[in-house]
Chain A
Amino acid sequence: MYIRATGNISPQKTFGHGPMDDSPVVYNGNRLTAIEPEYKDFIDPKLIRRMSRIIRMGVAAAMECLHEAAIKTPDAIVTGTAYGCLDDTHSFLSKMVQFNEELLTPTAFIQSTHNTIGAQIGLMLQCNNYNNAFVHRGFSFESALLDAMMLIKENDASNVLVGAIDEIINASHTILNRLGLYKQGNICNLDIYQSTSKGTIAGEGATFFLLAKEASNTDYAKLDGLHTFYKPANAAEVEQQVNNFLQKHHVNISEINLIITGKNGDVAGDKIYDTLSTSVLAGKQTINYKHLCGEYPTAATFAVWLAAHILKFKKLPAIISHQPSSQKNIKKVLVYNHYMGIHHSLYLLSAC
């Protein structure tokens, strides 16, 4: 299976197709904000006004992806989102509480359902095909991608638009801060890996991929495998999962040129990455990505996007270039990510 096209709206300047030659956007504080494109190039201005921010981001990332793939109607649309359309949910909920269930209007409620973005894409494309929405925390994107891969294997689709979207709103950031997810005080996104404190930095994004059964001469990468596992008991189980995954795909660790990890600066959560770097992944060239997009349940989309770009353009882009690298020819990339220690995922991608 091949990643033919991508569309990525993130806290970095990722929207567009070229190799990422810019240096990273620097953020001070624990909240990274997606850089939104000029929407009118992708969406009818009349529609833009009615859409909330997450819907605009999702639809624009999807349209950019389809445009690059030169596909008008995908065989399936599959989305993942952990939190859904938070702003619409918050708006309806606040008014409901404030006005004691009176004087409410339907728009925010209508747009609060978790399948809104996939539905809006289907509506804009007049696409009657398969349309599904996964909402399982740190597995939301992984489930969507597995669904897409199975549809292709089952011969029910030859191309699938698959992606994930999550937004931060003030209320969710306040609540997650109170739950202790984020670092406090002065923190720069470029410094999170040197930090010894608890917590991470918040991120968001809208990232889509066009997954195709057949190769084309413009593909980014081949998607060789995906595996998820839930609440592993200990590091040994994680190591076992990594080994089994590689074995299942007949890959020796020596063939992997690059590891992308989900390190996020949280001293407790990052331990497992350090453990693997001295055991099953010892001696491998390794990069991190969450200083670029922040941490959120569907952040692994950014890692897959990054892996796809590295494999297509055959070099490490400038936005990660402050990290040590040997710049050798990269043919196989392994992504290992976990969210809150609960949801673990492994991705294997290779050059076309």
Chain B
Amino acid sequence: MNQPVFVAGTGIISAIGDNVAQNLTALQNDHAGMGEMQQLNSVHKKRLPVAEVKLSNNQLATLSGLPNLKSRTALLSLVAAKEALANAGIENLQSLRCGFLSANSVGGMDKTENFFTDFIADNNKGRLRNVVHHECGSVTELVADALGIKDYISTISTACSSSANSIFFAARLIRNNIIDVAVAGGADSLTKFTLNGFNTLMIVDEQFCQPFDENRRGLNLGEGAGYLVLVSEKVAASLKNKPNIILSGYCNANDAYHQTASSPDGTGSFLAMSGALNKSGLQPADIDYINLHGTGTQNNDIAEGTAIKRLFNGRYPKMSSTKTFTGHTLGASGGIEAVFSVMALQHGVIFPNLRLQTPMADLPFVPERQCIKNIKLNHVLSNSFGFGGNCSSLIFSKV
């Protein structure tokens, strides 16, 4: 029940690259992914910058092998999941019990939006193929079927913490001896539904976002997918390249304060981080780097910052929000940032918090503004907090 779960592979696609290598290069060279909308067709095109994956649906279809008619979320998901499996290089995968644990926030909404334009005018209209994969789980199944995974398949949707939850649910399935291997993470494509939703909340930045800046104005939405291949200790021992990173801690807690806003003292964030430390058996001082949730909204950053201030109490680890590169990728963010956390451990690098000009007055620490290379890291904490007060933290450790 308590045996370690190893990270055997990583895969990612985001606004800063179509694979792990491209993402690493962009992160080390301050190349942010925001810009004017090219793929999404919204009336907010000129006003709201977004962090889009630069490939069209046709290009993603070619890269993934799925037909281009499918939801962009499924296309992104398959590209990253395939990379993660290839990276893990598990030769006897067919003989192992394998799961696909994914997450997204709005399923095949990008296609449903097209369907609805015709459907609203006449309920007998609208191409059914555009609505048939509306459900979150349906997007997961398109990818699971393409990967040939069937032993355990599920989908979690807890808004912006979704894929942190799918990753640690997968780890628990391995610990409970239900599966041996899991591809776990999440995906989300930009949709008009989410863009307009966040826009009505007035938390979308019309400039490039500035998380943890005193003068931050909001978030930029992004899209992408990030997956880890998690394996049991037994499978890890059988691999040629023996993995040396484990998911050492995790916790899901609820802020129970408001449907969309975080409590001023960051109760949920504090409980998630301290719960993850507790699970890992580590002390706050053991954490070398925090990959912040850091959306850039007034509310999130002060709540998260206040919780960090209380938990780390004077001994602050290095930290940064990589949403300054990828935007907020919602259901994918926990997966993408888990991949970044693993990359930080593997390469001994701390990614910068871009565009930070004026540190927050109420916080006694400042996130890293420059990329730090050749630094020895043992434990990295990754935060993902979402609507509904859902707060989850993961800890990755070198062994």
Please list the residues of chain A having a beta carbon within 8 angstroms of any beta carbon in chain B: 77, 82-84, 92-94, 96-98, 100-102, 104-106, 109-116, 118-120, 122-123, 125-137, 139-140, 143, 146-147, 150, 153-154, 171, 174-175, 178-179, 228, 230-231, 342
Interface string of B161-204 (1 = CB under 8 A from A): 00001000100110110100000000000001100110111000
Asked whether A131 lies within 8 Å of B200 as measured between CB atoms, the reply is no
How near does chain A come to B263, taking the closest CB pair, in angstroms?
10
- With an 8 A cutoff between CB atoms, is B399 at the interface? no
Interchain Cβ contacts within 8 Å, total number? 177
Which residue of A94, A119, A342 contacts B388 across the interface (Cβ within 8 Å)? A119
Binary per-residue interface labels of chain B (122-159) against chain A in the complex, 1 for a CB within 8 Å, 0 otherwise: 01100010011001111011001000001111111111
A104 to B132, CA, bound (A): 26
Among the listed stretches B55-63, B249-257, B352-360, B362-370, which one makes contact with chain A, having 4 or more residues with CB under 8 Å of it?
B249-257
A342 to B132, CA, bound (A): 15
Hey, which chain A residues are within 8 Å of B193, CB to CB?
A: 92-93, 96, 109
Contacts of A154 in B (CB 8 A): 1, 172, 175-176
CA distance A154 to B251 in the complex (A): 13
Which 7 pairs, one residue from A and one from B, show the smallest C-beta to C-beta distance?
A119-B388, A109-B197, A136-B137, A114-B157, A137-B137, A106-B200, A135-B136
Given the complex of chains A and B, what is the CA–CA distance between A273 and B193 in angstroms? 41
Q: Is B54 an interface residue (CB 8 A)?
A: no
A135 and B169 CA atoms in complex are apart in Å by 14
Which residue of the partner chain A has the closest CB to B251?
A130
Residues of B within 8 A of A104 (CB): 196, 199-200
Are B165 and A132 in contact (CB-based, < 8 A)? yes
Which chain B residues lie closer than 8 Å to A120 at the CB level? 259, 388
B137 and A179 form a contact (CB under 8 A): no
B255 touches A128 (CB 8 A): yes
Tell me if B271 counts as interface (CB < 8 A to partner A): yes
Could you tell me the distance between the alpha carbons of A171 and B125 in the complex, rounded to whole angstroms? 12
Report chain B residues within 8 Å CB of A114: 105, 136, 157-159
**Are A115 and B388 interface neighbours, CB within 8 A?**
yes
For residue A118, which residues in chain B have a CB less than 8 angstroms away from its CB? 158, 388
Q: When the two chains form their complex, are residues B259 and A116 in contact, meaning their CB atoms are under 8 A apart?
A: yes
Give, as a whole number of angstroms, the nearest-CB distance from A44 to chain B: 15
A-B contact pairs, 6 of them (CB 8 A): A102-B43, A113-B388, A130-B254, A135-B107, A150-B172, A153-B1
Size of chain B's interface in residues, with CB distance under 8 A? 65
Does B3 sit within 8 A of A, measured CB to CB? no
Q: Would B389 and A119 count as touching, CB distance under 8 A?
A: yes
**B150 engages A231 (CB within 8 Å):** yes
Cross-chain contact of A123 among B112, B119, B258, B386 (Cβ < 8 A): B258
Q: How far, in whole Å, are A97 and B42 apart by their CA atoms in the complex?
A: 11
Query: How far is it, in angstroms, between the C-alpha of A271 and the C-alpha of B12 when the chains are bound?
Result: 42
Check: B120 CB closer than 8 A to any chain A CB.
yes
Q: Which residues of B have CB within 8 Å of A140?
A: 137
Q: List residues of B (316-352) whose CB comes within 8 Å of A's CBs.
A: none
Q: Which residues of B contact A129 (CB under 8 A)?
A: 253-254
* Bound form: Cα–Cα A133–B158 in Å: 6
With a cutoff of 8 Å between Cβ atoms, the chain B residues found around residue A122 in the complex are: 254, 256, 388-389
Q: Contacts A94-B116, A113-B387 given; indicate if A153 touches B176 (C-beta within 8 A).
A: yes
A77→B173 CA distance, assembly (Å): 18
Give, as a whole number of angstroms, the nearest-CB distance from A154 to chain B.
6
CB of B108 closer than 8 Å to a CB of A: no
Contact check: which of B154, B173, B390 meets A119 at CB < 8 Å? B390
Indicate if the CB atoms of B137 and A135 lie closer than 8 Å: yes
Q: Is the CB of B135 within 8 A of A83?
A: yes
Q: Nearest CB to that of B195 among chain A residues?
A: A101
Contact A130 B389 (CB under 8 A): no
Complex contacts, A146 vs chain B, CB 8 Å: 178
Task: Say yes or no for B44: interface residue by CB 8 A criterion.
Answer: yes
